[in-house]
Structure 1
Amino acid sequence: MAFRYGYLSLSMKVVPRNDSEWIFREPTIDIFTDADLYALQPNQRSGRKQRRVFDGDFHMEFCDNIKQLVQAYFRDFDFELLDQPWKAFTSSWSIETLARNLGINSSFIAKEHCYVLVRLSRFRDSSRLARTPSNLKVVEPVQREIDDIVVGDVASVLMFIKKFGSHYIQSYVTGNSLYQVFVFNKSSYRQIKDRLKNQGISNITEMELHQYFSPWNAELVGSIKVASGNQTVENWASSRLRANYLFGSFPTLLKSKGDPRLLGKLNSLLKNEAILQMEMRTLSAAIEDPSKRKWFVEVLDNFLKLWESNL
């Protein structure tokens, strides 16, 4: 995977793309034998599943700058040894691509703006390895390549990574999400942030909340986006999730907050079409020899630090 850093949004559906129904574009590679036997599904972790109006999560994040906004979007993605995992997806993006994926105009990607990310995530499928890879056997082709790793030889490690990648999936959550970005000037942003911090969102009336996140207070009310790029869902959200005012209306994801009817509809509309959370761990765990394992980590860590420093 290391050689795809910066371009992972082309291989994993994490932002809107409407070119196909794929979640992982490229085929995955089996590293461990019988790994499926040790994958915990949700019902194995929590017993009988409780029926809810909406099986997912609603949250809001205040972001002082564009960097924090991108971090917030990729908050639930963790790659071992990567200090800034969001860059694995976004470092190849132009300003125009970043703005399009966030649902805002590129002119609002500037240091004088602050942002609030509102997201409604519908969880569909999840899995986590119940056993550590050190307790799992690797498939024969992987073991042969591990045998060819030579301590002190960088090329042998890079050859392994080229063939089998650098990380394995420890856990994932798939489904779909709606999200929206609100852009504020610094003064309005601080006022709203302090108000919600002191009072709590549950203690603010719906009318007051819509006023804060309206064209009167926000520099820009961004478009409601769908993580998978499903245009049918996006059109539905843009027409149904709207707040009315004297001279018209504007789209707001906050409309769904606490509304059982809308949440029930979205619970059905948001299918299993995108990756919402992912935890990646290095393949060093597959290497039994301590000296080879240490060398693998050293080479990979240096490679990733060099990559991050050059961005």
Structure 2
Amino acid sequence: YIEGIEKPWKAFMGGWTSSALARHLGLNSTFVAGNYGYSLVRLSRVYELVRLTPHMGLRLNNWTAERTELVIPGQVGSVLAFIQQSGSHYVNSYTTGDSLYQVYAFTPVIYKELKMEMQYYEVGRVGLGRVLSFFS
């Protein structure tokens, strides 16, 4: 999602020719010129997954810890001040491993069905048999 851009993919691929698009996405060029929906699938092999929890003995540095004391729950101004000074992201887990990305092209009917299925259920709760039916 890119704020203010109706079709965010155009920000990255708008100037690509059909042959360049096919080459970069790993698709046959016939799937670029036609009426298709696309899905990016990631296959991951996880070597290690660590979730950070309070009981691990990790501590904030003094500078950040002092600023957290100034945050007042429910008071937007104090939260925004903290974000401006300290940032808005934190790490609660990390994963090491390998990932393989593949773009799939679907006819409009199948793409719509796949999209509805993924929106209705959490992605991880769609059964393997159902997922495989889209890719066979």
TM-score by length of 2: 0.47
TM-score by length of 1: 0.25
Higher relative contact order (CA 8 A, sep 6+): 2
